[in-house]
Structure 1
Amino acid sequence: MIPKIGRGRRVYGLLRYLYGPGRREEHIDPHLVAAWDGAGPLSTLEPPIGQDGKPDLRKLVDLLEQPVRRGANPPRKPVWHCSIRTHPEDRWLTDEQWARIGTEVMAKVGLAPHGDSRAVRWVAVRHAPDHIHIVATLVRQDRRTEWARNDRWLAQAACRDLEERYGLHRVGPADRTAHTRPTTREVHKAARTGRRERPRDQLRRQVRHAAAVADSQQQFFTLLRDAGLLVRTRTSTVNPEQVTGYAVALASHTTAAGQPIWYGGGRLAPDLTLPQLHRRWGQPTGSVPPPPRLVQAELYDQAASEIRAAAEQVAQAGGDPASASAAASAAADTLTVAARLLEGDRRGPLHRAAEALDRATREPYRRPLPTTIRREGLRSMARLLRLAGELTDDNAVFAMLRLILTMSMLADSLADLRDAQRRLHQERAARTAARLLRSAGTRNGMPGGRTPDVTAAPPSTRPSTMPPTRRNDARRQPGPGVGQGR
């Protein structure tokens, strides 16, 4: 389950939206499923339908706002809003189950502990089969203000416990290894302007490739500019000659005033900040001489041998998981370069596999990886693959296929390691990478062949209508069986 928390000033505006038709998804039968301790029956709180056919929210709004008006020190934004959504593959829950979920989340966050009759007032509204909205006011009924500190982390912890209790899809605890997703505004703008890929995702792919093949800061910025990106740097206020950060932009992605929209490395991925890149590059090693064109296939076989050794190290990483992660991280750089050689600038299955493997190799909370001989050897191999250029003959093609299949072995070993470390998100990323690599590691998976997207969700088996959400509601057909929580 995914909780999403926000703050606001007006209860009425939020409830009007929740009880309205919705802006991007249809709101079906909005109604209360839970309320604060001492609120009485939900039927007495449910907004009645007025003469205009719309719910009359005034009584419910007044009840929720009463503690705020009487509070000794009410906050500037007294409205606390939390939406809780289940995974698309999860079964639909009943109103009673959603009520227990809302109650548990409010108790875990500390806004409404169990048995506290003077806690904040809140309600849970359900207007869709897969999520609820909790609306609370941050002043207790004894006039004290609740500041809801650490509410996001506590809500996440509550949802992790509820996932196990109800047998739902496990999201896993946050480890801060994921890259920043495009915002809703970015998604809508990309669709409106006809872009096949969001600018943030395109920039992340370009920057990751430059980071994989560069061995110094100067070469990194040169590669970005050669790829057609706009680059600006930030210098130290103490030492103006020292570069402390950077940002990139696409010339075609601008504001309404025509100014480029910039993205810093940290806004693309946690391992693409300049300090993280300096740790990746280590000490300058000098330029790598280009390999002879006639031994291109041998180069790919040599890379496969290096990857196989890294996979064995990851599989036997019981005593030194950090070194194994370092080797896997360098192998992900090799895959990034191979994806560019085979798919060019388009985001195909190999690019998706490289992104997933890159996520699986990151250390939580940006902990640095050790510099090892195998890691440096694999990074040198990534630079050699770039200099080797595009595939020249069938021998090179089949050698590259062997390299991709070997990379899938490393992804499997890394998934097992992450499973043993209980890093759920990274385990899933490694499994996804392995699945994509096995699919692409065939002749049909090469450019020009048809490669299925194995990460796509299976067709939904849900009915097209929402299941009954109130007792004795015979207007809709019942959905799939809903298990009971324990």
Structure 2
Amino acid sequence: MALLGERNYRQPVWHLPLRAAPEDPVMSDGEWARIACEVMDRVGLAREGDFGAVRWVAVRHAADHVHIVATLARQDGGRPDVWNDGYRVRDACRAVERRYGLRGTAPADRTAARRSSRGEMEKAVRRGQEVPSRTFLQRAVQTAAAGASSEAEFFQRLQDDGVLVRRRFSQRTAGEATGYAVAVRGDVNGDGRPVWFGGGKLADDLTLPKLRRRWTGADDFDPARSGVRPLDGRYMSTRTKRVLLRTAVRRAADESGTTTEFFDRLQEGGFLVKARHSQTSPRQVTGYAVAFPVDRAGVEPTWYPGSRLADDLSLSRLLRRWASPGPPHAQAVEHDELTQEERQGFYDDAARAAAYATAQIRRYLAVSPYAVQDACWAASDALHVAAKVTGNRHLHRAAVTYDRAARAPYGRIPTPTPAGDALRTAARLLARTGVIKNRTVVSTVLLIANLVTLLDTIAELRHLQQRQAQADAARRAAAHAREARPAAERPVPQPPEPSAQARLAMAAFPNAWAPLPQHAPTRTAPSEPAPQARPRRRGP
């Protein structure tokens, strides 16, 4: 350390505890010594045959773990490199697990969410928060991004949820946002300013460029385009399409004042617009029709005239509305327009989309397990939005638990697939229904059942991919989702089978018997007469 001088580390002690799992065999001192040497060699602090490496010691004071302590100064006067040493330690541990047959652990593939610091957790306890601000914001951003179809809708949903939003704009292109940060109201630092968290500080897939790819499906973001990826009509019923078109047309009409502006807003939303011109005056527009875009060649879109969507959405009624003086119309709210049947249709379509994604994943289980990564990622969107709109605490736990199983290794964004598009469509359909205040309005049995099947399938997929940590997360999420089912739909627990001793004891009786479980009431069959009281014999 004296040779390093000013180049010394501020904290020159390197400390690493290594612990075996409870079910692992107890290893000898020699085995632990070889493990410690291999870890130090793979980390690069003391490679085999390097006599000028750092000095270190391994201390074993329990049967299942050792402590490795090293001084961060090489004996030849050099400064050791500890940058990203955690990833090298993880690789070394996995090599030791394979060599000695120990329990396997997860690789350092950066799929785990960023944990809150100790100071953030203690601050949450002082403020009486259930979770730290970082965790709360991560879930809020994930849910808002899942239900949104564009950047503007994403920021609007965050503000509606009470989250503070701050955008970062480009210095070269005026008006172009390059990033964002979010904060919790009332969470301030020592100077009284909000504590901001950028999207990349919450999760690797929540940065603005990666969110834009989720919404647009393109690798490069073009500010000249609308940046909107409309809902895929392949996974929606005819009634749902009509409701969504009616909502979009009414919102565009509320935000417009002329026919040209009205058509432009519909096209910016990703919809197809066809104007009907007068036969006497070709330049005069007398009507219009809207449709969802189609991706398959040779398939004609299904057009809906404005008068078929609603009586007040015909072009003549809209022209009179725009011409009448008065205050500007307020923006329409989607879920306020839905009837009970329409909202139930949204839930049924979301359940069918989840079933379609499950079938696609099962199709690739044995052929190409890595071809459906997009569906695993999009399943998180469906879970987060379903938990929010239903208010079910079990679905909320399932969404939080499944979070790690959704991400691709090293923060990669998977290529869009039909299965992933189906689940994103399900998430956006559920987001447009709004939060259910009356739980008896819609039936969620089919949706929850399909989500449970989807999670079980993804757990099997992750197991085939040899990603044990993600497979365990999917299994735990499926267990939480099963608890979300109504009590009548859950399987009745069966009493345990009698033991061998109990069966031998029962065989000694003329009639086989077994004790009834405590929760089962005793009943007398209606065909049998009620037992009569026999007189008691007296005398010897």
TM-score, normalised to structure 1, is: 0.69
Q: How big is each residue's C-alpha offset from its partner over 1:266-318, in whole Å with a ceiling of 9 and x where there is no partner? A: 11111111111101111514694355322433432332221111011111225
Q: Tell which deviates more after alignment, 167-176 or 192-201.
A: 167-176
Partner of 2:19: 86
Structure 1's 327 and 120: CA in aligned 2 closer, same or farther, altered over 3 A? Answer: closer
Indicate the residue corresponding to 2:187 in structure 1: 253
Letter in 2 for 1:208: Q
Q: What's the RMSD between the two structures over aligned residues?
A: 3.1
Which segment drifts farther, 187-196 or 318-327?
318-327
Task: Tell me, yes or no, if the aligned pair for 1:72 and 1:143 is still in contact at 8 Å.
Answer: no
Take 1:395 and 1:443, find their aligned partners in 2: how far apart are those partners? 18
Gaps of 5+ in 1: 1-67, 447-486
Distance 1:444 1:102, change over 3 A: farther
1:401 alignment counterpart: 445
> How many Å separate the matches in 2 of 1:305 and 1:208?
23
Match of 1:284 in 2: 228
Of residues 398, 408, 412, the one that matches 1:363 is 408
Matched, 1:387 2:331: no
In the other structure, the counterpart of 2:466 is 422
Identity across matched positions, percent: 40
Superposition map of 1:219-368 within 5 A: 219-282=153-216, 283-285=227-229, 288=244, 289=247, 290=334, 291-317=338-364, 318-319=366-367, 321=369, 324-343=372-391, 348-368=393-413
Give the deviation of 1:98 after TM superposition: 4.3
Rate the CA distance shift 1:372–1:174 in 2: closer, same or farther, 3 A. Answer: same
How far apart are 1:343 and its partner, in Å?
2.4
From the superposition, tell whether residues 90 and 407 of structure 1 become closer, same or farther in structure 2 (CA, over 3 Å).
same
Q: Is 2:369–2:464's contact at 8 Å kept on the other side of the alignment? A: no
Distance 2:344 2:484 in 1: 18
Asked whether the equivalents of residues 205 and 411 of structure 2 are also in contact (C-alpha less than 8 Å), the reply is yes
Q: 8 Å contact 2:351–2:426 — kept in the other structure?
A: no
1:105 pairs with 1, 15, 39, which one? 39
Q: Structure 1 residue 197: deviation in Å?
A: 1.3
TM-score for the superposition, normalised by structure 2? 0.62
Q: Secondary structure at the match of 1:441?
A: coil
Shift of 1:322: 5.7
- Bigger relative contact order, structure 1 or 2 (CA pairs below 8 A, ≥6 apart): 1
Q: Cα distance 1:410–1:377, how it changes in 2: closer, same or farther (>3 A)?
A: closer
Matched, 1:200 2:122: no
Task: Check whether the contact 1:72–1:144 (CA below 8 A) recurs between aligned residues.
Answer: no
Who is 1:50 aligned against?
Answer: none
Q: Distance in 2 between matches of 1:155 and 1:239?
A: 43
Please name the residue that 1:55 is paired with. Answer: none
Runs of 4+ in structure 1 over 6 Å off: 127-130
Aligned residues, how many?
374
Distance 1:181 1:136 in 2: 26
Kept in 2, the 8 Å contact 1:248–1:264? The answer is: yes
Measured at CA, do residues 352 and 168 of structure 1 come closer, stay the same or move farther in structure 2, by a change above 3 Å?
Answer: farther
Which residue of the partner structure matches residue 94 of structure 2? 160
CA deviation after TM superposition for structure 1 residue 232, in Å? 0.3
User: 2:477 corresponds to which residue?
Assistant: 433
Which one-letter code corresponds to 1:276 in the other structure? K
Which position in structure 2 is the counterpart of 1:450? none
Residue of structure 2 in register with 1:146 after alignment: 80
1:56-67 matches, cutoff 5 A:
none
- Cα deviation digits, residues 388-429 of structure 1 (max 9, x gap): 231646472xx3133112112111211222222222332222
Note closer, same or farther for the CA distance 1:125–1:311 as it changes in structure 2 (3 Å cut).
same
Unaligned stretches of 5+ in structure 2?
217-226, 232-243, 248-333, 491-540
Q: Does the C-alpha gap of structure 1 residues 336 and 87 become closer, same or farther in structure 2, counting only changes over 3 Å? A: farther
Q: Secondary structure at the residue paired with 1:81?
A: strand
Seen in structure 2, the aligned counterparts of structure 1 residues 162 and 386 have a Cα distance that, compared at 3 Å, is same
Q: Secondary structure at the match of 1:136?
A: strand
